[in-house]
């Protein structure tokens, strides 16, 4: 995967890619003491647009609050602007954007109050997160032997970097077993989410997804709710058992990186006829149009990047907000 770009934004400065480095003694590296977002920008008829930018940045701030950071070095508006500058500076058509707020210094006594967070934003071209054939053929998944976080062990509403050790365990195991993705159960044994996506099942034309209590409140999940409602599908948030997935007509996963991908098989059991089903296809189609600014009623989800103005290589003095 090529992650190169021209610029990475660090603490207000647009740095050339190779200059965006950190010291070995950065506490975030040792303890996963960081929060991040995964955002995509797409080429639309009106130029590049970041999909649901403000919601992602607000979730970054929420993650920071959940983790206990008391001071955020920038405002929501500044971070939104910086993200657009990164997309513009790198001249990408479609790209993935990764802001990371990380414990940069201090905090070695495991107390965030003694540390200082810094913010960096990178972008790269990241197509086919779940593999090149995922969109056409769907993917094969297993139920992980690893349990998803108990909500009082790790904070499930926050994209805390350290949380992702759990995803690493599950996905590595899953791929070593020959699957493409892992489905994780919550500590009560109900379906929670995948390592980097939320999950839906379709039965008798109705969409069902686990409630957000033990999982990340996915922004794609939310977009899919809106699309499904507008397409006239019934949907419900309710506990989902493992075998409900086995007997579903369709199962699909969704997330910013993965987008919307059907599951062809779970635990060696074919789902439906083993092909991405009609409901998933219908939702996928609208989602793909919406992210590219081609559906008028969802255009407010697209935050256009003004490419006519020159790139700002640095931002004004950081604001300190609670
Ligand atoms: N659950 C988890 C655990 C998760 O990481 C993601 C996003 C989602 C659900 C879906 O959330 P949303 O993107 O708001 O619809 N996973 C991000 C990180 C992937 C990675 O490998 O890193 C992403 O899709 O950007």
What domains appear along the chain, each with residue ranges and CATH number? 7-126 (3.30.470.10), 133-298 (3.20.10.10)
Q: Known catalytic residue: 137?
A: no
Distance CA 70, CA 52 (A): 25
Q: Is 26 exposed, middle or buried (0-12, 13-18, 19+ CB in 10 A)?
A: middle
Ligand 1 centroid to 308 CA: how many Å?
A: 31
Give the per-residue pLDDT at 60. Answer: 98
Is 19 strand, coil or helix?
A: helix
Mean pLDDT of the chain: 95
Ligand 1 centroid to 310 CA: how many Å?
A: 32
pLDDT band, residue 308 (cuts 50/70/90): confident
Distance CA 257, CA 90 (A): 19
DSSP 2: -
Distance CA 158, CA 155 (A): 6
Rounded to the nearest angstrom, the gap between the alpha carbon of residue 5 and the centroid of all alpha carbons in its chain is 20
Mean pLDDT of 84-109: 96
Tell whether the model's pLDDT for residue 316 goes beyond 60.
Answer: no
Q: What percent of the chain has pLDDT over 90?
A: 91
Nearest to 183 by CA among 146, 214, 221: 146
Tell whether the model's pLDDT for residue 317 goes beyond 60.
Answer: no
Ligand 1 centroid to 11 CA: how many Å?
A: 24
pLDDT tens-digit map of 227-284: 999 999 999 999 999 999 999 999 999 999 999 999 999 999 999 999 999 999 999 9
Give the per-residue pLDDT at 307. Answer: 87
Mean pLDDT of 173-196: 98
Judge whether 255 and 139 are in contact, CB under 8 Å.
no
Tell whether the model's pLDDT for residue 215 goes beyond 70.
Answer: yes
Nearest atom in ligand 1 to 257's CA: 24
Give the per-residue pLDDT at 19. Answer: 97
Tell whether the model's pLDDT for residue 321 goes beyond 60.
Answer: no
Tell whether the model's pLDDT for residue 2 goes beyond 90.
Answer: no
pLDDT band, residue 310 (cuts 50/70/90): confident
Distance CA 260, CA 287 (A): 8
Judge whether 50 and 43 are in contact, CB under 8 Å.
no
Other beta carbons within 10 Å of 162: 16
236-246: b (≥16 Cβ within 10 Å) or e: eeeebeeebbe
Judge whether 33 and 102 are in contact, CB under 8 Å.
yes
Q: Which residue's alpha carbon is at the smallest distance from atom 20 of ligand 1? A: 196
Tell whether the model's pLDDT for residue 315 goes beyond 90.
Answer: no
Ligand 1 pocket residues where CB is under 6 Å: 38, 193, 196-198, 216, 218-221, 255-258
Indicate which residue of 84, 159, 206, 275 is catalytic: 159
Ligand 1 centroid to 154 CA: how many Å?
A: 16
Tell whether the model's pLDDT for residue 99 goes beyond 90.
Answer: yes
Give the per-residue pLDDT at 309. Answer: 77
Mean pLDDT of 156-162: 97
């Amino acid at each position: 995967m090529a992650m190169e770009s021209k610029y990475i934004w660090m603490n207000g400065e647009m740095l050339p890619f190779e200059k965006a480095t950190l010291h070995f003694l950065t506490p975030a590296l040792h303890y996963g003491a960081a929060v991040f977002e995964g955002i995509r920008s797409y080429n639309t008829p009106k130029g590049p647009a970041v999909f649901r930018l403000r919601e992602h940045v607000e979730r970054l701030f929420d993650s920071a609050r959940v983790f206990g950071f008391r001071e955020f070095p920038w405002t929501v508006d500044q971070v939104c602007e910086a993200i657009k500058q990164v997309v513009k500076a790198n001249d990408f058509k479609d790209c993935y954007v990764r802001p990371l707020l990380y414990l940069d210094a201090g905090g070695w006594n495991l107390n965030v109050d003694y540390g200082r967070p810094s913010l960096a934003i990178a972008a790269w071209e990241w197509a086919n997160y779940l593999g090149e054939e995922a969109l056409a053929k769907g993917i094969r998944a297993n139920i992980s032997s690893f349990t998803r976080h108990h909500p009082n062990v790790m904070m499930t509403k926050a994209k805390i970097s350290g949380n992702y050790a759990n995803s690493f365990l599950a996905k590595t195991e899953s791929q070593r077993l020959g699957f493409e993705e892992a489905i994780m159960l919550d500590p009560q044994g109900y379906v929670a989410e995948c390592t980097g996506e939320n999950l839906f099942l379709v039965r008798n034309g109705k969409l069902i997804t686990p409630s957000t209590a033990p999982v990340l409140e996915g922004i794609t999940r939310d977009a899919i709710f809106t699309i499904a409602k507008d397409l006239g599908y019934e949907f419900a948030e309710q506990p989902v058992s493992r075998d409900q997935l086995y007997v579903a007509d369709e199962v699909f996963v969704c997330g910013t990186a993965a987008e919307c991908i059907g599951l062809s098989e779970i635990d060696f059991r074919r789902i439906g006829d083993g092909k991405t089903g009609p409901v998933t296809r219908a939702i996928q189609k609208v989602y793909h149009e919406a992210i590219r600014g081609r559906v008028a009623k969802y255009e407010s989800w697209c935050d256009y990047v003004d490419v006519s103005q020159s790139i700002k290589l640095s931002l004004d003095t950081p604001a300190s907000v609670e």
